[in-house]
Amino acid sequence: MEENCIFCKIVNKEIPVKMIYENDNFVAFPDVAPQIKGHCLIVSKKHFVNSLDIPATLGNELIGAIKSIFELKVKEDKSIEGFNIVQNNFPVAGQIVMHAHWHFLPRRKDDGKHLRLE
């Protein structure tokens, strides 16, 4: 636990959120400022800063979390046909919260969101 880290506080239940998923090493909860309907964050339980900091052995669980969250989302909204995973590493790449997390963005046909790399 890192002092003054907002995601550590959420993981430790000091700040209440509606958890939508949990496994041994990750949790997921809605982003406070969703970029698209259903936007949520997959967050490591331990305070790792970003991808470089995370042990590669947690990769299986991260992929498992992504698959489970997609299944959960589709169950609650049949119009979801896909998803984007976005991760910002270091401030220069747009990382604001310095505790490792992945954005899960559910996608619907004609949802008007453009995340294409140019």
Catalytic residues: 101
95 Rama class: left (phi>0) / alpha (psi -120 to 50) / beta: beta
Q: Where are the alpha helices (DSSP H) in the chain?
A: 6-11, 59-76
Does 99 participate in binding Zn ion (rule CB under 5 A)? yes
Does 33 participate in binding ligand 5GP (rule CB under 6 A)? yes
Q: Which residue is nearest to Zn ion (CB)?
A: 5
Cα 48 from Cα 45, distance rounded (Å)? 8
Select the span of 7-15, 61-69, 78-86, 102-110 touching Zn ion (CB under 5 A): 7-15
Chain residues binding ligand 5GP by CB under 6 A are 6, 17, 29-33, 41, 88, 94-97
